[in-house]
Structures are given as C-alpha cells and as structure tokens.
Amino acid sequence: MSNDILVLVEHRDGVVAESAHELLGRARQLAGSSGGEAVAVVFGSGIDALAGQLGAASRVLTVDDPSLAQPTPAAYQAALVAILRERQPLLALVPNSGIGMDVAAGASAATGLPLAAYATAVEVDGGAPRVTCRIYGGKIDATVRFRDGRGIATVVTGAFPAAAGQVAGSPPVERVALPAADSRVRFVALHRPEAGDVDITREAILVSVGRGIGEQENLEIVGELAGALGGAVSSSRPIVDSGWLPRTRQVGKSGLRVKPKLYLALGISGAPEHLEGMRDAELIVAVNTDPRAPIFGVAHYGATVDLLDLVPALTRRLAG
Amino acid sequence: MELAVLLKQVPDLAEELEIDASGTDLEREWMTLVTNEFDDYALEEALQLRDEAGGSVTCLALDTGSADELLATCLAKGADRAIKVGSFERQPDSHTAARAFATALGRVPHDLVLTGVQAIDDLDGQVGPLVAAELDLPHVSVVTHIAIGPGGRAATVNQEYAGGVVAELEVDLPAVLGVQTSRVTPRYAPVSRVRQLMKTAEMGHVEAPTDGGSGLVVEAMALPQTGAGAEMLGGGADAVADRLVAILRERGLLKA
C-alpha cells in the first residue's frame, strides 16, 4: 500500500487534456498532506513524450501498447484495475468524462475500492480522503469518506484550477506491462464535429437557452435578442437532443466550453454538466423561474421572471 | 435480439429537496419520484432496436414499493415483460443495485443490456459499468447510437466525448450500454393506460441480494455553498430588462 495519489490522464493527438492539469495540480497538493507522491497514469501508444506535459507529477506510469492507441472502455479499465491492484494508492482521481465514466465504476466493482462520483472537492484529512460530491443535478453536496480509507473519485471538470498542474518538468516514466488484452470493445473511427455555421467558442456574447424555453417556436424571439445584442444563440443539451439547434451550438460537458464576455442563460437550470462548459464566462446572467436553480450559484445576476416576457422586453430596449 | 432495460426512479428535481434530521440523507417522506430520464432514453432505444431487429424487451426495476408504476409505464410504452427485482425499502446505492440487477440478469436472457448513462443520485457511480463488471460483460457508456451487427454477435455504438467528438466503437454481445440519448424523443404513455396496467399486468419477480453497500460513508449532505451567488434582480420583466440594459451598458457590452 502507498499514500500516493494517482491521476488518470486523458490525452488526444499528443496533447494531455485540461482535466489532467486540474487533477494533477490537486493531487500534488494532496500528496503533500498524505505523505505520498502525485502519480500520473497514462494509457496509449508511443506516449513517453507526454511526460513533458505532466511536470506536476512525481512519476508517470504508462501502459504503452499499440492496442491502446485509441481509448476503449474494456482495455482502459483492465489497465487501470491492474495498476490499482498493484500500487494500492490512497486515492485515484479520474476525470468525470466519457472515458472516466467508462472505467471508474467498473474498476470500483473489480477492485472492491469504493467510488465517489461527481466530485467537486477532495481533501486528505487525518490521513484519509474526504470527497465532496455534487449530486441531484447540482442541488445537493454530499461529503463522503471511504469505508477503509482508500478509494476512487471521478472529478467534475473545472473543480480545480488547471494552473496548479501546469508545472514545468519531465518526471521519470515507468512502464507497466499491458495486462491480458481485452478486445471485446474495439475502436472503429473517431468522428470530429463538422464546422458549424457559428463557432460559439469565439462569440463574445451568447444567448443560451435550455428546457425552460418550452416550445421550439420560442427560439425565434431568442434569435432576435441575440441579433440585437450582436451575439449568437447557444443551448444546453436537451435543446440539441430535441433537434431544435445543431450540436455545434451545445455548451457543456459533451458540447463545447465557452468563455464569452456575456453569457445570458435563459431557462437553463444549471446541471453540473452544463456549468462545466460556461462557468468561466466573464459575465453570467441567468433567468429561470426556479429561484433554487443551481445556475444562480455561478451567475452574477439573476432573475426569476418568465423569459417569454423578458426576452421581447430586452429586445425592444436594445433595438429601440 | 433479447433486450433487457434496467430502470429506476429518482427524486423529482422540480420539487424542493430537503435534508433529513440525520443530516446525511434527503428527507424522503413526501418526495415525488420520476423515472430517471436517461433510463427513459434506454427504454426508447430498446423498443426501437426490437422493432428493427425483432426479439423482445424486458424491463427490470428494483422492487422499492413504487416499481409498479415505473414498470407499468414501460409496458404501456410497449415493453414485452416487466420484472421486479429483490425487495428494498428504498432505492439503494448503485453498487447494491448493480449486484441485484446482475443476479436477476442471471435468470433473464439478454443479448444487450441497456440502462441510463447516469442518474442524479448515483453518488457511488453509474449502474451500467457496475453491472457489467459483476457479469464480466463488456460495457460502453455515453452511448448515442446503437446498430446491431450481422447475426447479432456485435453492435456498433457511438460514444460521445467532449467538444462534439464521437468515437465509433464495436462491442461484442452480450454487452451493457449506458445510454446518453435515444434516436427519437421517448414515447409517451397515457396515464389511463398506465393505471390500467398497474391493476391488470402480470409482473415477474426475481429474488436478489439486498446487501453489500457502496463502501462510502456519508458524513453530511447539504445544499451547495456556491459563494455569493447571483445578485437577484427583482420586479417584473420590464424592471429586469431596464436593469440588465443598464448593467450591459456599464460594462460596454452593448453595440453603439
């Protein structure tokens, strides 16, 4: 057993994901309290050079094999389980991404290590981790410990500042053997999004709509408001799933991360998956009839008026 | 193609959530429950796949006392069979739920197991990958498109990553998939039909272990501390619009 803090590093096209910096920055601080090391865990093919981007780690463990060139749930999980069993860290931090969700719960079942999901805060207290998990759509925080003091946490993107993990240096790389290959899930192809009509990541002003918009017809007055503001219309996931807007307009965990000067959130409750994509906007104004909607926790200004009344009232003032 | 769908109910977020006297759980006495929206997508996808490829859809829910309504809704939407699993006072943690579902699936034929990618209450992780690990089946989460391959030996699925990037994966069957969204909006079941089926439908029951636990110790539950939060603008739509225009002008965000 060790007091190490492991971090599962996501990467694509030779670049580590921002989540890796966020988690390694925190792992480095936690390792100071636990008396262990911050250890980066990387799966892939030809990945030694990635260590140069993982300066916040004391060591980098790699499972380097052509069969891991693209992430697949089964192979990643098998590799993570082998490392957890052998290294027995105090804590493993996994990004709450598609890949993280694939491997963390399965690794928990396979190793018997408990899992704390949707973590927004992690500390080491009295030698053991304590994790705060944001559940019930962002409406409740649960503070949990692991029964035997060791476990896995899936961490929401943006929970920790990436800057703490952007440390120069190239820690030593230790190669770990590929466990018995699991090829029951096979990579076929990676599809990147087609360029949309609007690149919402480059817009200074976004008028963003969620379920509270009610009907598709109401998008028209929202479009008029966006026009009057000189911005573009974006949305939360349900609007895109309904086919009301193209996927290129989706803000959030499975959409795009945006940092506009103004983010006007209309009828968006603010589930954690959405907040991941927009919490860094310079000015956030939220309109939602539920005064307890989590979106008000990150907004600078809020109102509980009916957006169907407010939107035309705003447009009139801006156009006139 | 034998399709199994795992479903559960979760607290309705449209209602106010309250913490109970212990400070470590929700106040559940008057709680309104709704079907986990992602489980609804899983069911819709299962019904679509059955209609394409033939076979049957079996819906499973833990018997928490309110499973009848959930399962009757599944039948009203067109599921072929409904099975209650185990006997629980309330919805257990995901690890316990997964063990119970895995036991039940030992007695339910399945080429493909579909469930919601996540639920708002899965504090100890998502049920899909936990069930897959219990049964030693392959698993893919965040799935948005499912196509059954020739002979039903494998399925091609899309897995969503951030930024709209999608991985196309091929998975051997049987497998467990965590469904993010269905190809069409989940169908609606008329309330009258659900009520009728609650009285008349035959639902199966499978015994399952109810113990195990998540290995987590909940120290506290609380409403999130979100810092100062938003400055709320009062008054009607016109008053709010006036304030907002002033705020945007002050910040130089209005076009000249």
Say how many CB pairs under 8 Å bridge A and B: 284
pLDDT number for residue A145 = 98
Q: Which residues pair with A5 in a beta bridge?
A: A38, A91
Q: Which of B140, B226, B244 sits opposite A185 (nearest CB)?
A: B140
Delimit the domains of chain A by residue range.
5-175, 200-319
Q: Which of A309, A258, A315, A270 is nearest to B162 (CA)?
A: A258
Q: Which domains does chain B have, with CATH numbers?
A: 2-206 (3.40.50.620)
Question: Distance between CA atoms of A68 and A46, rounded to whole angstroms?
Answer: 10
Fold assignment, A5-175:
Rossmann fold (3.40.50)
Average pLDDT on A224-233 reads 94
Question: Distance between CA atoms of B256 and A199, rounded to whole angstroms?
Answer: 23
Quick check: B246 contacting A, CB < 8 Å? no
Which residues numbered 81-100 in B keep a CB inside 8 Å of some CB on A? 94-95, 98
Q: Do A139 and B223 touch (CB under 8 A)?
A: yes
Q: What is the pLDDT of residues A199-223, one digit of tens each?
A: 899 999 999 999 999 999 999 999 9
The tally of CA atoms less than 13 A away on the side-chain side of residue B30 is: 6
Residue B148 has pLDDT above 90, yes or no: yes
Q: Do B225 and A298 touch (CB under 8 A)?
A: no
Q: Which of A173, A170, A165 is nearest to A24 (CA)?
A: A165
Q: What is the pLDDT of residues A262-282, one digit of tens each?
A: 999 999 999 988 998 999 899
The tally of CA atoms less than 13 A away on the side-chain side of residue B245 is: 21
pLDDT number for residue A180 = 81
B236 vs A contacts (CB less than 8 Å): 305, 309
Question: Distance between CA atoms of A36 and A20, rounded to whole angstroms?
Answer: 18
Average pLDDT on B130-139 reads 95
**Matching residue, tokens 């833990």:** B62
A98 vs B contacts (CB less than 8 Å): 141-142, 159-162
Which residues numbered 123-162 in B keep a CB inside 8 Å of some CB on A? 123-126, 128-130, 132-134, 138-142, 156, 158-162
Q: What is the pLDDT of residues B178-214, one digit of tens each?
A: 999 999 989 999 999 999 999 999 999 999 999 889 9
Phi-psi region of B174 (alpha: psi -120 to 50; beta: other; left: phi over 0): beta
Q: Which residues pair with A73 in a beta bridge?
A: none
pLDDT number for residue A217 = 96
Average pLDDT on B36-51 reads 97
Residue B55 has pLDDT above 90, yes or no: yes
| Minimum CA–CA partner of A258 in chain B | B163
Please provide the average confidence, as pLDDT, over all residues in chain A: 93
Q: Do B218 and A303 touch (CB under 8 A)?
A: no
Residue B226 has pLDDT above 70, yes or no: no
Other CB atoms within a 10 A radius of the CB of residue A182 amount to 16
Residue B227 has pLDDT above 70, yes or no: no
Q: Do A140 and B222 touch (CB under 8 A)?
A: yes
Q: What angle do CA B181, A97, A231 make, to 5 degrees?
A: 75
Q: What angle do CA B232, B233, B235 make, to 5 degrees?
A: 130
| Minimum CA–CA partner of A261 in chain B | B253
Distance from the Cα of B98 to chain A's closest Cα (Å) equals 9
**Matching residue, tokens 């809020």:** A302
- In this prediction the ipTM stands at 0.91
Q: Where are the beta strands (DSSP E) in chain A?
A: 5-9, 11-12, 15-16, 38-44, 59-64, 91-95, 115-125, 128-135, 140-146, 151-155, 173-175, 185-191, 205-209, 232-235, 262-266, 283-287, 301-303
A126 vs B contacts (CB less than 8 Å): none
**Matching residue, tokens 């009139």:** A316
Residue B164 near residue A248, CB atoms below 8 Å: yes
Residue A292 has pLDDT above 90, yes or no: no
Domains A5-175 and A200-319 share a fold: yes
Q: What is the pLDDT of residues A81-140, one digit of tens each?
A: 999 999 999 999 999 988 898 899 999 999 999 999 999 999 999 999 999 999 999 899
**Domain A200-319 = CATH 3.30.70.100:** no
Q: Rg (Cα) of chain A, in Å, rounded? A: 21
Residue B256 has pLDDT above 60, yes or no: no
Exposure b/e, A41-52, CB count within 10 A at least 16 = b:
bbbbeebeebbe
- Residue A237 tokens read as 């996931």
H or E stretch including A222? helix A219-229
- Residue B41 tokens read as 């997508």
Q: What is the pLDDT of residues B89-123, one digit of tens each?
A: 989 999 999 999 999 999 999 999 999 999 999 99
